[in-house]
Amino acid sequence: MPKTPISPISPISPISSRLKTPPTITPFFKLPNIGVYRFKGLGTPPELIVSSTGGVLNKNDTTAIQTYEAALDVVKYYNSSFNRDSYDNKHSDVRIVIGYEDAPGRPLNNAYWNSDDKTLYFGDGDGKLFSPLGTARDVVAHEFGHAVIGSEVKLTYTGESGGIHESVADIFATGVDHNLQIGEDVFTPGIKGDAIRDLNNLTFKTVELLKASEYRDEPHATGEVLSQAAVLASRSLNDSKGEGGLDKIRNIWYTAISDNLKNHSGFAGFRQATESAALKMYGPEARQSIDDAFKAVGI
C-alpha cells in the first residue's frame, strides 16, 4: 500500500523533536521539493497529485505515488553518489508530469526531460510496450541524468555528442538499481527478462558496427559504443562492492561531465575528459583501463 502522507523531507530523526535542546548537528542535505503532476491535456494545466510539501492529494493515483517514490530514490541516489543537490546542483524543485499523451487518448510510450520548461515527462504507456514509465527508478534516473548533464555542458543532441548524452544518462541510471538493464520493470510488461537497453548485450559495440548501420547519427545508437567502452573499462577496475568497477566508472563519468567536458564534445573529447578524470581520481592504472576500453571500441 502507498504511504500516506509522504514522510516529511527533513532527515532529522523523530527523536530529535522530543529533545528540549535542538540538535547541534545540522542535516548536510535537505532534499529538494519533488512535485508529481498528472497531464490533463494540451492547453490545460497538469494537476498536482503528490509533492514533498503537500503529501498525497489523490491516493487513488498509485502511478503518481510510485513515481514520487521513484523520484525520491533518484534524488537521494544522485546526492549520495555524486553529492549533487537536485539536477542543477542548485536545489531546484524537481517537476514531473506523468500520463503524458502525444495525441488525445494515446498514452506516450516514452519519457523525456524538457530543458525548456525544466520538467520530466513520463508516459503511462499503452500497457503492451510499456507500463507507466515514471514508476521505474532507472528510467527516472536516466531522464534526471539528462537534466544533470544539460546543466553542466551544452551537447548537441545528435551524432557523437548526442551519444554522450544518452550513454552517460544510462551509466548513471545503472547505479540506482544496480544492474545493467535499463527499464526492465516497465518494458513489455507481458514479457519477462527483457529491457529497453541491456548494457551487457549492446548492438553497436564498436564504431565500425555503428558506421555500417543506418543509425550512425542516432544518439541512442552512438551512445551504445560509449556504453560498451564503459562496461569494458569497468571490468578491469576492481571494486569492493563486486560491481566490476562500475562505481568507479560512474564517478569518473560524473567528474568528466561536470569538470572536464567541453560544449559540443564528440567521442575524442569524451575520451580525453574521462581519462584525465580517471588519472586524477584513481591513478594511472585506471587511466590505462579507460584508454584500453576506448581503443577496443574504435575510439
- List interacting residues with Zn ion (CB under 5 A): 166, 169
Residue 130 or 282 having the CB closest to Zn ion: 130
Residue 65 or 195 having the CB closest to Zn ion: 195
**Phi, psi (degrees; rounded to nearest 5) at 9:** -80, -15
Taking a C-beta distance cutoff of 8 angstroms, is the pair 181, 253 a contact?
no
Smallest separation (angstroms) from Zn ion to the CB of 142:
6
Residue 69 or 166 having the CB closest to Zn ion: 166
Please report where in the chains the cell 562500475 appears, as a residue.
246
Taking a C-beta distance cutoff of 8 angstroms, is the pair 226, 270 a contact?
yes
Smallest separation (angstroms) from Zn ion to the CB of 112:
7
* The 3-state secondary structure of 259-289, one letter per residue: HHCCCCCCHHHHHHHHHHHHHHHHCHHHHHH
Residue 220 or 271 having the CB closest to Zn ion: 220
Residue 223 or 245 having the CB closest to Zn ion: 223
Residue 144 or 267 having the CB closest to Zn ion: 144
| Structural element, H or E, at residue 74 | helix 62-82
Smallest separation (angstroms) from Zn ion to the CB of 254:
17
Smallest separation (angstroms) from Zn ion to the CB of 74:
14
Please report where in the chains the cell 581519462 appears, as a residue.
275
Instruction: Give the sign of the dihedral formed by CA 81, CA 82, CA 84, CA 87.
Output: negative
Smallest separation (angstroms) from Zn ion to the CB of 249:
18
Residue 98 or 141 having the CB closest to Zn ion: 141
Provide the strand spans (E) within the chain: 34-38, 47-51, 55-56, 94-98, 101-103, 106-107, 111-114, 119-122, 181-182, 197-198
Q: CA angle, 53 as apex, 47 and 55 as ends, to 5°?
A: 65
Smallest separation (angstroms) from Zn ion to the CB of 145:
8
First to last CA, the chain: 49
Smallest separation (angstroms) from Zn ion to the CB of 169:
5
